[in-house]
Amino acid sequence: MALFEIDTQCPETRARAGMLNTPHGSVSTPAFMPLATQGSVKTLSPADLRDVGAEMILGNTYHLYLRPGSQIVKQLGGLHKFMAWDSPMLTDSGGFQVFSLAHLREITDEGVRFQSHIDGSEHFLPPELAIDIQEELGADIIMAFDECVAYTDDVPLMREAMRRTHVWAERCLSRHRREDQALFGIVQGGTSPELRRESAKHLVSLDFPGYAIGGLSVGEPKHLMYSIARETAALLPEEKPRYLMGVGSPEDLLECVSYGIDMFDCALPTRIARNGAFLTRNGRLNISNSRFKDQSAPVDPYCNCYTCRTFSAAYLHHLFKCDELLAYRLATIHNLHFILDLMSAMHLAIQEGIFAEFKENFLANYQPVDEETRMEQKRKWTRSQRGKSGNNFT
């Protein structure tokens, strides 16, 4: 069975509905992967994930290497068994964490020397070890080790990081042994269209089974992210899956699916849930707002998730005001259900030939966070990654 099969393509956009086939099952695309960075999606059990419609999740090499250690995970049967998740899984290589913890690392062509954000211990992570760790973890799809840059970096720095990413990609391919894992390459090049074209051309020549677009959603203006994502996606093979890393707001998912991108991951739905923000078809709602204090209806009357079927907005408001732990679980259930339901609706709309109309209608009603606020939130989040704790990665 082929790794990726395209069922339908939208005649008005590049959107496509397909199926990603892995040893642990098939995933409908376009697909969104909740982040199980340290072996769990924060506040949720595997049963919760299945209930909200998750078909595939993402774990992180950097975090699982530091604790509990990939060898321990391997001894206990691999990451699927370790966390009781028997469906498809992808592991990131840790490249983004290297980018986020800039003050704790040194990058050379040989690899990355860094200090653990947990205890300050020193580690050396070459591309070969990133592959070894992911083979021990046992995810269905694994990622080549790459170097991400800030969108404000100058072109020479972007070019150097791209060159190093290409060198590392070749070393990852040479190291990779497990035939039951698909190794994806990652296109870099920052915000330079020229470098993105060069990176895509080089990586396509290496014939990876799938390709990711990395180095976006790192604080750049949205119009720039869209432009680079659109142009880069068009350079990648039609017959192979395309994965845009770190993107997950509803408006971004709709826009980037229209570029022919098949896979996404992002911390946003779960992170904002823990801050009391609920995603709805009209935009985000802040459950701490006083207007919800006595609202007997659910926070989203159009939603069929467990949270909205069971609890009033007033109850959720109360939980957040009291800092009850249940608040975070219920909000996370809702937000992931909303995003995964949106992906399913996009898949169906593409199949029915109405994706362009579906996208237009959704965006006509949805009020995204304004650009200035969004960029400030992103800057605050990025700064939080450079702190001593790793608790904010997801």
Cα distance between residue 188 and residue 133, in whole Å: 22
Bridge partners of 242, per DSSP, are 211
Q: Which of 92, 132, 262, 300 is catalytic?
A: 92
Residue among 146, 161, 164, 168 at smallest CA distance from 192: 161
Which secondary structure element, helix H or strand E, spans residue 358, and what is its range?
helix 355-365
Per-residue tokens: 326? 């249940």
Helix (H, G, I), strand (E, B) or coil at 107: strand
Helix (H, G, I), strand (E, B) or coil at 68: coil
Q: Which amino acid, 262?
A: D
Active-site residue, 92 included: yes
Cα distance between residue 24 and residue 84, in whole Å: 12
Kindly report the backbone phi and psi dihedral angles of residue 19, in degrees, each rounded to the nearest multiple of 5, phi listed first: -140, 130
**Radius of gyration over every alpha carbon of the chain, rounded to an integer in angstroms:** 20
Q: Which of 7, 265, 300, 370 is catalytic?
A: 265
Cα distance between residue 138 and residue 159, in whole Å: 32
Per-residue tokens: 229? 């994502």
Active-site residue, 265 included: yes
Q: Which residues are catalytic?
A: 92, 265
